[in-house]
Chains A and B, each alone.
Chain A
Amino acid sequence: MGDLVFDIGYGHFLVLAAVLFVIGMAGVLIRRNALIILMSVELMLNAANMTLLAFSRMWGDLSAHTFALIVIAVAAAEAAVGLAIVVAVFRGRRNVDVDRLTALRH
């Protein structure tokens, strides 16, 4: 037990990333506000980045840092477009509740 608490290894980082990913996934699944869902997606991307960096350090390969940097840039682009969509949806409907966005449901 002491080893588990005081010896911080790769497993700790990986489990932390897994927990963050699960929390983000739960946010996507149970929340109805589109903004919270976008934030939860960002959380999941961060968890994936943390896994990348942990394995990067484990294998001594820096290319995962490049990959994580590109993931961050894609996340920024995704946030910009996602928030624009949220604003556009709000402008037309006065709410951003994803359960009430049923215009495309046949």
Chain B
Amino acid sequence: MSIQKAFLFLLAVAIALGALVADAPEATAQPATAQPAAGQPVQLHVVPSDGPRGGVTVNPTIDPDRNLHGDRVESHGKGMALLFWVFAAASIGGALFVVTRRNLIAAVMGMVGSFLGIAAVYMMLYAHFLAVVQMLVYAGAIMVLFVFVIMILNRPEDEPVAPTGHVGQVVGGIAILYLLFRLGMLLAHVHVPASAQLAPPPMQLPGGEVADWGTVKAVGSDLFSGGLFPFEAISILLLISVVGAIAIAKPLKDDDGEDADLGEDLATAASGAPHTDGGHA
């Protein structure tokens, strides 16, 4: 499909362009310095971590210019704007691909592109750890699972979109137009405070350490202090879901052997067409 290739090509070009522009001095941080600049003693004031959750709190007394890892990019400037629009277009285009494509593999590929854009947008929100987790878990694990299931049930769809009458189309069109209008008004009226443009200050961890916002250390500290019970509950949930998935997807004993083949033959005969390996049409 040429539209898929065009989309992927545009995505690659846009990412390359964005990376080039991001290297321009306007939007990038200072060159990476492993150590804080000498002669600038970092003032650390240990605050008692009696926040609402006893977790990570922002310490306003930390010097906001303190540069831990040299990756404090201020989220303003034309380079950042270009990157945002590129990755927003990637995520929305991929999402539209998911909804509109007939071919399931194309839909999954659009989903991966969408997740890539979303991870980049997470990065712009200073959620470095979650951006990496997004790529690992979604694009790496869940989408592979989807591809495997699509390979198992490889059948083209008869009619991918549910039929709607003229009334439904008109009402849906009006609703979408109104939604876009409201979104545009919202976007036009959002006031961007000056403090929002700056990189978020480093976090004061309970142990007295300091970590950049959104990094593994900061998120982990919060996760294992305030979110410890949800974390443990998630582990139980994942175990249950694994066991449940195996139990659900396991073939019944009656389906084994000849009966399963017989059923497949019957289904093939009933559908009136041989079992084609279509789906890439």
Contacts and interface: CB of A to CB of B under 8 A. Distances in A.
* Genuine A/B complex: yes
B260 to A, nearest CB: 8
B92 A83 contact: no
A19 B249 CA distance: 34
B3 interface: no
B98 interface: yes
B133 A53 contact: no
A15 B142 contact: no
Contacts of A96: 153
Contacts of B146: 35, 38-39, 79, 83
A66 B227 contact: yes
Interface in B156-170: 157-162, 164
Contacts of A40: 98-99
B7 interface: no
Interface in B84-120: 84-85, 88, 91-92, 95-96, 98-99, 104, 107-108, 111, 114-115, 118
Given A23-B96, A66-B226, A8 B245 contact: no
A39 B187 contact: no
A11 B190 contact: yes
A101 interface: no
A53 B125 contact: yes
Contacts of A53: 122, 125, 127, 130
Contact of A42 (B111, B191, B196): B111
A8 B124 contact: yes
A80 B162 contact: no
Interface residues of B, number: 95
Interface in B179-237: 179, 183, 186-192, 196-197, 200-201, 203, 213-214, 218-219, 222-223, 226-227, 230-231, 234, 237
B150 A35 contact: yes
A10 B98 contact: no
A86 B149 contact: yes
Nearest to B87: A16
A72 B135 CA distance: 11
Given A30-B162, A63-B55, A90 B241 contact: no
A87 B249 contact: yes
Given A32-B159, A90-B152, A66 B98 contact: no
A65 B245 contact: no
A16 B91 contact: yes
A94 B251 CA distance: 14
Contacts of B234: 70, 73-74
B98 A77 contact: no
Given A18-B183, A33-B104, A87 B152 contact: yes
A12 B122 CA distance: 13
A5 B242 contact: no
Interface in A19-44: 19-20, 22-24, 26-27, 30-33, 35-36, 38-40, 42-43
Given A8-B124, A79-B142, A66 B222 contact: yes
Given A16-B91, A39-B146, A33 B214 contact: no
Given A40-B98, A66-B222, A11 B161 contact: no
Q: Report, nearest first, the 4 A-B pairs whose CB atoms are least far apart.
A: A11-B190, A9-B192, A77-B241, A84-B245
8 contacts: A9-B191, A16-B91, A33-B160, A50-B122, A70-B231, A83-B149, A94-B264, A94-B271
